[in-house]
Structure 1
Amino acid sequence: MTEYLLIALALLGVLILGAIGLVVPRLRRRPAPPLPKEEVRTRAEEDLAGPPVEAPEADLATGILVEPPVVEAPAPVLEVPEPTAGRLVRLRSRLSRSQNVFGKSLLGLLSRDRLDEDAWEEIEDSLITADVGIDATREIVDRLRERTRVLGTRSGEELRALLAAELVNALDPTLDRSLHTAPKLGAPAVLLVVGVNGAGKTTTCGKIARVLVADGRSVILGAADTFRAAAADQLETWAGRVGAETVRGPEGADPASVAFDAVKRGIDAGVDTVLIDTAGRLQNKVGLMDELGKVKRVVEKHGPIDETILILDATTGQNGLEQARVFTEVVNVTGVALTKLDGTAKGGIVIAVQRKLGIPVKLVGLGEGPDDLAPFDPAQFVDALLGTEAPGRDA
């Protein structure tokens, strides 16, 4: 009985081993599960996705996620504009081209041994070439002829003093050249800036803002030139440099609406001055000039405009007079800012503008720097035109 049991156990063992031998190879031949496909992205998808975002690293010691420190952008450094007092004196060398006409040419002619009719005609020609204007030139020359004859003046210093006095007199030093920028009755002063295309209007508007800030005024700028988005961006850049706020609207918005909102914002913020930049326009375009008149009327719903500054390009010469005349009729120009005066020999346009229109030149641009806009002073201007040394001979 025992023998049969042992035989049965042996057969059972053989069967079990055989079964294992058949099953194991099949398990080994089972195919491995497919690997996950690598995600393939196009270049366009990668550009849209942006750079990969790295997960915060873990502290090896504690296993706690460590967030990277937040780096705050540095606050913009505000610029401090140069004081306006004495700017014209500091910038006098920029008038070198006009100095050649007034200083070297005129003083050289006046200091001749004999001032005959030919000499006086040359003096007239020099003044007319410098855009002083025919009427003003005749008055200056007539007064110079009389005074040199009566006084018998011949020394360089005396001739220079006589010419300087006549030029200052032609500029009418009695005219009010101050910018009226002080607030009144709880409302800010409003300055409207107008001009033709290409005169440097928006840039000059930004420089006027620097002049006001340098004189201690708080300023808001209104970007009412809504035809060019770049104009509003440019004005905003100028304002940001001195910490001033800019009020702007969408491109193509109604300029009068933007100007109105700028003044309203100035009232709410309690600033001293609101400076409104308008779109450049040609003086012979009736529709655009009517639109400028609308801007003025809408702004005046808040109160009267304190200053309307016309930006004139000094290099345009006598053409600027017609521009000034039309703008004056539409918006009552109260002052002129002459730009690019450093790039012309026709500095006499300052005299011509005032003689023809009775509008004082209040600001002059003498360079491309941010603080190269100077308050106009007749005596300092004439002194710069004539230069420091008067050519001629001593008596």
Structure 2
Amino acid sequence: MEWLYLVIGIAVLAVVALAGLVTSRTRRTPRRPVEPTEPTSTTPTTTRPAEREALPPTLESDLPLLDAPLLDEPVVVEPEPVPVRDKPESTRSRLARLRERLAGSQGGFGRGLLALLSRDRLDEDTWESIEDLLLTADIGVAPTQQVVDNLRTRLRVDGAEAGDPRSVLRDELITLVDPTMDRRLQVTGDDGKPGVVLVVGVNGAGKTTTVGKIARILVAEDHTVTLGAADTFRAAAVEQLATWGERVGVEVVRGAEGTDPASVAFEAVKQGVEQGVDTVIVDTAGRLQNKQGLMDELGKVKRVIEKQARVTEVLLVLDATTGQNGLIQARVFREAVDVTGIVLTKLDGSAKGGIVVAVQRELGVPVKLVGLGEGPDDLAPFDAAAFVDALLG
């Protein structure tokens, strides 16, 4: 039995020795490196954990973005919206519409005169009533006396007709309004330079709005225009004028609030000359706290402008509803600058048509434009015959 135990022991030792030899060889044999797989164009590139560990701490918040695929997508830039511009109304259609409005608001005056003149007998009481009616229309004392005297001469007092009362009255009123005055706007300059229209008037008369409306008239007539916002004491006036300019596509030169008005006017005209526009329209301040200060300021603005181009028009804007009180304003501005034309605004409602005659007589300059509403195109050139026809309904 001893030999059997010996054989088993030898066998066990042999097995252990063989196992040890195999293990030793395995440890000494190097592992074949795994060949990296080439990424294809469709495989997104990502950051491996080892690379993450090498990133600075400040980029920890960006790690999710590193895992996202980098797509070469084009950046879409939305185009800026094109401003919608108005198409101003033509002068002819303005005149037709304004005649209708004027006839509706002022027709009672003309009908009252016609009713008095159509009586069977024109006695002294009738003539006094005619005179009173003319005076209440703000025509003025001297013009009223002129009309009454002429009507007495042309229409016999005993009632016999020397002509149609309506035609006689129409002729006298047209003569009173004076159709011989030159009412054309001088909006172009000399030697290729733009014409400069200086717009003056008290605040509240509709001056800034009138500047915008004049620009619309000129644009409708295919003129090129630049606006100068020289009423720098009112921020609202500057913003208002900028809105008017944007609506019809004309450039507005402006300065900071409180800027010297003359410097803004100078820059507007300079820019108009450089760009070769037809007309530069300059809005001005309208404060009346100190008459001498107003005269000095407006005089300075005009002198500065004329260093570059001639001022072709000085338009005085008057609120027609102020009646005879507007004549006081007219006198002040006439002393400050050489007014060449009148713009009567708000010639509807409570306004009295006779103010046209009164202001022309006071200043010796024509009414060139009239406004009868708040619409952007409610401003039109003044026509004496059309005005009188509207008064007479």
Question: Do the structures match in fold with TM over 0.5?
Answer: yes
User: SS of the counterpart of 1:124?
Assistant: helix
Q: 1:273 aligns with which of 261, 273, 279?
A: 279
The CA RMSD over aligned residues, in Å, is 2.4
Name 2:109's counterpart in structure 1: 101
Contact kept in structure 2, 1:199 and 1:339, CA below 8 Å:
yes
How much does 1:68 deviate?
5.9
1:353 aligns with 359
TM-aligned CA deviation for residue 338 of structure 1: 0.1
CA distance in 1: counterparts of 2:341 and 2:89, whole angstroms: 22
Q: In structure 1, what is the Cα distance between the partners aligned to 2:289 and 2:265?
A: 21
Task: Tell me the matched-pair count.
Answer: 330
- Aligned pair 1:153/2:153, yes or no? no
8 A Cα contact 1:131 1:349, kept in partner:
yes
> Contact 2:187 / 2:279 at 8 angstroms: preserved in 1?
yes
Asked if the contact 1:225/1:255 (under 8 Å) is kept, the reply is yes
Following superposition, the deviation at residue 74 of structure 1 comes to 2.4
- Are 1:197 and 2:241 matched, yes or no? no
Query: CA separation in 2, counterparts of 1:209 and 1:203?
Result: 10
Alpha-carbon deviations, 1:24-75, whole Å to 9, x = none? xxxxxxxxxxxxxxxxxxxxxxxxxxxxxxx9xx8xxx87264563221321
Q: Deviations over 1:128-148 (max 9, x none)?
A: 100001000010111111111
1:89 equivalent in structure 2: 96
Instruction: Summarize deviations over 1:118-165 as a string: whole Å, max 9, x none.
Output: 11111111111000010000101111111111894388xx21111111
Query: What's 1:383 paired with?
Result: 389
Question: Hey, what's the Cα distance between the residues in 2 that align with 1:277 and 1:374?
Answer: 19
Is the Cα–Cα contact under 8 Å of residues 81 and 214 in structure 1 kept in the other structure? yes
Residues 234-275 of structure 1, C-alpha deviations (whole Å, 9 max, x = no match): 101111111100111111000001001111000000000000
State the alpha-carbon separation in 1 of the partners of residues 290 and 387 from structure 2: 32
Tell me what 1:143 maps to: 150
Q: Distance in 2 between matches of 1:205 and 1:101?
A: 30
Aligned to 1:307: 313
Cα offset, 1:228, TM superposition: 1.2
Q: 1:139, 1:319 → 2: CA distance?
A: 22
- Corresponding residue for 1:17? none
**Partners of 1:130 and 1:215 in 2: how far apart?**
34
Q: Give runs of aligned pairs for residues 155-234 of structure 1, distance below 5 A.
A: 158-234=164-240
* Aligned-residue identity in percent: 64
- Distance, in Å, in 2 between the alignment partners of 1:323 and 1:284 is 12
When structure 1 is superposed on structure 2, of 274-283 and 125-134 the one drifting more is 274-283
Query: Post-superposition shift, 1:279?
Result: 1.1
Alignment deviations for residues 283-331 of structure 1 (CA, whole Å, 9 cap, x no partner): 8532123111111111111133100000000000011112112211211
Please, what TM-score do these two structures have when normalized by structure 1? 0.79
Task: State how far apart, in whole Å, the 1-side matches of 2:311 and 2:147 are.
Answer: 36
Query: For 2:318, what is the secondary structure of its paired residue?
Result: strand
Q: 1:340 and 2:346 equivalent?
A: yes
CA 1:182–1:117: 2 relative to 1, 3 Å? same
Q: Is 1:79 matched with 2:77?
A: no
- Give the drift of 1:166: 0.6
User: Alpha-carbon deviations, 1:317-370, whole Å to 9, x = none?
Assistant: 011112112211211000000000012241100011111221100000011111
1:294 matched to 2:291: no
Q: In the alignment, is the contact (CA less than 8 A) between 2:195 and 2:309 conserved in 1?
A: no
Structure 2 stretches lacking a partner, 5+ long: 1-8, 10-64
* SS of corresponding position for 1:338: strand
Please say which of residues 338-347 and 314-323 is displaced more in the overlay: 338-347
Letter in 2 for 1:70: V
Corresponding residue number in structure 2 for 1:132: 139
Equivalent position amino acid for 1:134 in 2: V
Q: Give the unaligned 5+ runs of structure 1.
A: 3-54, 388-395
Based on CA coordinates, which of the two structures has the bigger radius of gyration? Answer: 2
SS for the counterpart of 1:261 is helix
Q: State the secondary structure of the residue aligned to 1:342.
A: coil
Q: Give the SS at the match of 2:200.
A: strand
SS at match of 1:222: strand
